[in-house]
Amino acid sequence: MSTAADSGPGWRRLHSRTVLVTALVTVGVAVGAAVPVMVALSGRLGYATAVGWALAGTVLLTGCAAAGDYVRWRRTRYRVGAERVDLHTGLLLAKRRSLARERIRSVDLTAHPLLRILGLVTVRIGTGEHTGGDSTLELDAVDRAEGERLRRELLDRAAPRASGAHRDGELATFDPRWIRYAPVSFVAPMLGGAAAGGVMQISEWAGVQGEVIDWVADRFRDTPLVWAIVVLAAVALAAGVVGALGLWTEMWWNYRLEREPGGTLRVRRGLFTSRSLSVEERRLRGVDLVEPLGVRLVGAARVDAITTGLTRDEESRSADHNTLLPAAPRALADAIAAEVLRESVTPTGAQLTAHPRAARGRRLRRALAVALAPVLLQILLGLLLTPVLLWTALACAAVCVPVAVLLAVDAYRSLGHTLSGDYLVTRSGTVRRSTAALRRTGVIGWTVKQSCFQRRAGLLSLTATTAAGNGAYTAHDADASEGLAFAADAVPGLLEPFLERG
Amino acid sequence: MTAGEGTIRLRPPRNTLDPRAVGWWRAQWLLLTAAPVAVLGILGALIAPARLWLLTPAAVLAGAGLLCAVLFPLWWFRTHRWEVTDEAVYVSTGVLLREWRIAPMSRIQTVDTVRGPLEQLFGLATVTVTTASAKGAVRIEGLTHEVAAGLVERLTRITQDTPGDAT
């Protein structure tokens, strides 16, 4: 095995096949670039010469990349010591990075298809500190057994928890029926739009954009404009749905949520790129039951972890990094939330204290302002320029106002907060309704905000700040006095000295 | 719930800022309005045909800036208050959007002091107390250098005595 120790005890190397991976990836990129270059050159230089140049370029590029990566591989060493994990690397500059083992909070294994074929994984070791990018240490790549060993060794500091009622092992596994929730997410229309945009962009690159537009216009020559728009939107949406199904399959195939001995939750998933996320339970501060509008309408919900120490770089933010359970039937989501927190019933299902009616008025006013602003603009322009705009304003108002009112009323009904056992529960949102259950000991401060409008209506917004998740969970527009009592009860002793009653 | 015994309010923190903070805020307002007013004024002096259209907004802006510089700091001085107990740091700010922030001592991670150039001029300092939350920082602006130094010293001592990694 090439990961054997060489300089000093405990030092290991990355797997030698890493160099092969880099070479293969570069070949792929180089061939992709070489083909159009070859086509362009063959007209001027003749076919054989063009192929020769392209081949030479490919070989040179691949050779350079492989040589560079070989040097990197030679110079990269890591060691898991008793106290610290060290990584020495660097192509030209020597970089030395060292993490204290007790600060390590997550170990993620990922493998794109090529790595999987070669039996390798990329290991990302995170401390989850907020400062800069120095909190993550990446081993690219080691073999799968070594990755598993690292993960177990680094996270195995079993702080035994007193709760025998909850099982180790598998908590949830992939259920293909969940795919029915994929098309109702916001991904579908987004992908549809992207597909339409992509067709236009590619046809422009190929210089045939005009022809594509003409061709589409030809299809609809005898149909009215409205109908054509409806059909085109439907086609784009259908493409988006297909894309959403594909994306969902790629992301969630082989999904498994397990609790490992020693108190670590582990999510594994992915069809082509396999991903593994481990969260230490003592870093878990709660769960967030997320219900995007479409998903909520069909009675499903997603479970996210609220945890300290997940890396929060751009890449992971976009990739559902902290999701413990994808959109699944609500009952199952509740059961998993309870299981993850080692509770008998999930705190996110608790009966919530509703917020005062003044909060509904605020939501209605805000929604109507947003809906009516474009309408008023159109009326103004219509009066000044052309009466057509008056009709579009009417149509716009007829559609937007009821939607705005419905969303506002729903947003109000979503609002709520309560204390449930060891958890503080807040719920808000309509397009993305989120019910967060935060462990009361995880609250590390309060921020209370009150605008002058809120003051007149007797409302205020309470934000519990925490080291986990997105850093703050807010009960918007709660009743002023009841909200403060709630906050004081949630964390005994913290708010109490600053309150006056009477 | 302990509700039901009448209304509950947050009481204002005990300490006010240093009175020099009023002057500091006024200087900020004046500098803020001086820049656009000066630009408009110079343009108005140079471009004769548009003089009316440049000097009128300059005058309006200057008037509004002066009014804000007189009124807002007085108002702010009443609402910007702070307090440090053995358990927590408690700060209130804002006039139109009021805000009260509370950070428990046991969760404080860092204590920073900043003295901007304008603050130096007025002999003031800003103390920022951060916790492990990305959104939980507490800022106390407009303290005198001595008070700020004493506060930092006290906070550092208390937080050092508290075990744990504050998450």
Could you report the per-residue pLDDT of A4-62, keeping only the tens digit for each?
Answer: 444 567 888 888 888 888 899 998 888 888 888 777 777 777 788 888 888 888 899 99
Q: Which of A360, A367, A370 is nearest to A405 (CA)?
A: A367
- Chain B closest-CA separation from residue A226 CA (Å): 47
Q: Judging by DSSP bridges, how do beta strands B97-104 and A443-451 pair with one another?
A: antiparallel
Residue A390: phi and psi, rounded to 5, are -65, -40
Chain B CB contacts of A450 below 8 Å: 97-99
Write down the architecture of domain B81-160 according to CATH. Answer: Roll (2.30)
Cα–Cα distance measured from residue A157 to residue A405, given in angstroms and rounded to the nearest whole number: 52
Chain segment A183-230, per-residue pLDDT in tens: 887 778 888 888 888 888 887 777 777 888 888 888 777 777 788 888
Chain segment A251-265, per-residue pLDDT in tens: 888 899 988 877 788
- Chain A closest-CA separation from residue B106 CA (Å): 9
pLDDT mean across residues, chain A: 84
Is B133 in contact with A452 (Cβ distance < 8 A)?
Answer: no
Residue B104 predicted with pLDDT over 50: yes
Residue from B102, B130, B131 to probe the interface with A (highest A Cβ count within 10 Å)? B102
Own/partner contacts of A136-142, CB < 8 Å, gap of 24 or more, are A136/A311, A136/A313, A137/A78, A137/A85, A137/A87, A137/A97, A137/A99, A139/A14, A139/A78, A139/A87, A140/A14, A140/A18, A141/A14, A141/A15, A141/A17, A141/A18, A141/A21, A141/A111, A141/A115, A142/A3, A142/A14, A142/A15
Cα–Cα distance measured from residue A150 to residue A439, given in angstroms and rounded to the nearest whole number: 29
Q: Which residue has the higher pLDDT, B107 or A289?
A: A289
Average pLDDT estimate for B1-21: 78
- Burial (Cβ within 10 Å: 0-12, 13-18, ≥19) of residue A214: exposed
In this prediction, residue A157 carries a pLDDT of: 60
In this prediction, residue B4 carries a pLDDT of: 47
Is B97 in contact with A497 (Cβ distance < 8 A)?
Answer: no
Residue in B2, B99, B138 closest to A485 by CB: B2
Tokens of A244: 């959403």
Residue A499 predicted with pLDDT over 80: yes
Percentages (nearest 5) of helix, strand, coil residues in chain A: 50, 25, 25
Residue A315's alpha-carbon distances to A38, A130, A187, A292, A319, in angstroms, are 35, 16, 17, 21, 7
Domain ranges for chain A, please list them: 11-155, 187-249, 357-413
Residue A483 predicted with pLDDT over 70: yes
- Residue A134: pLDDT band (50, 70, 90) is low
Lowest-pLDDT range, A163-167, A462-466, B50-54?
A163-167
> Do residues A71 and A90 touch, judged by C-beta distance below 8 A?
no
Residue A320 predicted with pLDDT over 70: no
Cα–Cα distance measured from residue A426 to residue A289, given in angstroms and rounded to the nearest whole number: 10
Domain ranges for chain B, please list them: 16-78, 81-160
- Residue B25: pLDDT band (50, 70, 90) is very high
In this prediction, residue B95 carries a pLDDT of: 87
- Tokens 């259209």 correspond to B53
Q: Judging by DSSP bridges, how do beta strands A95-100 and A84-89 pair with one another?
A: antiparallel
Q: Which residue has the higher pLDDT, A475 or A263?
A: A475
Question: In this predicted complex, what is the ipTM?
Answer: 0.87
Residue A1 predicted with pLDDT over 90: no
- Chain B closest-CA separation from residue A311 CA (Å): 13
- Chain B closest-CA separation from residue A357 CA (Å): 18
- At A304, the amino acid letter reads D
Chain A CB contacts of B133 below 8 Å: 444-445, 465-467, 471-472
Lowest-pLDDT range, A49-53, A422-426, A441-445?
A49-53
- Chain A closest-CA separation from residue B64 CA (Å): 21
Q: Is A498 on the interface with B (CB under 8 A)?
A: yes
Cα A13 off chain centre by: 32
Residue B2 predicted with pLDDT over 50: no
- Residue A317: pLDDT band (50, 70, 90) is very low
Q: Is A480 on the interface with B (CB under 8 A)?
A: yes
Chain segment B59-87, per-residue pLDDT in tens: 999 999 999 999 999 999 999 999 998 88
Helix or strand or coil: residue A27?
Answer: helix
Residue A106 predicted with pLDDT over 70: yes
Cα–Cα distance measured from residue A401 to residue A53, given in angstroms and rounded to the nearest whole number: 64
- At A261, the amino acid letter reads P
In this prediction, residue A319 carries a pLDDT of: 47
Residue A99: phi and psi, rounded to 5, are -115, 140
Print burial letters for B58-95: b (CB count within 10 Å at least 16), e (below 16): beebbeebeebbeebbeebbeebbbbbeeebbbbbbee
Residue from B5, B10, B90 to probe the interface with A (highest A Cβ count within 10 Å)? B10
Chain A CB contacts of B164 below 8 Å: none
Cα–Cα distance measured from residue A344 to residue A421, given in angstroms and rounded to the nearest whole number: 11
Cα–Cα distance measured from residue A497 to residue B11, given in angstroms and rounded to the nearest whole number: 9
**If one looks up domain A11-155 in CATH, what number appears?**
2.30.29
> Do residues A354 and A342 touch, judged by C-beta distance below 8 A?
no
In this prediction, residue B164 carries a pLDDT of: 59
Continuous H helices in A275-329: 293-297, 314-317
Chain B CB contacts of A494 below 8 Å: 87-88, 102, 104
pLDDT mean across residues, chain B: 87
- Tokens 């399959």 correspond to A249
Secondary structure string (H, E, C) spanning chain B: CCCCCCCEEECCCCEECCCHHHHHHHHHHHHHHHHHHHHHHHHHHHCCCCHHHHHHHHHHHHHHHHHHHHHHHHHHHHHCEEEECCCEEEEEECCCEEEEEEEEHHHEEEEEEECCHHHHHHCEEEEEEEECCCCCCEEEEEEEHHHHHHHHHHHHHHHHCCCCCCC
- With a pLDDT cut of 70, the percent of chain A lying above it is 92
Lowest-pLDDT range, A395-404, A437-446, A467-476?
A467-476
Chain segment A334-383, per-residue pLDDT in tens: 999 998 998 888 898 889 999 999 999 999 999 999 999 989 998 999 88
- Tokens 């090529």 correspond to A114
In this prediction, residue A290 carries a pLDDT of: 92
For chain B, first and last CA: distance in Å?
27
Tokens of A71: 């040097």
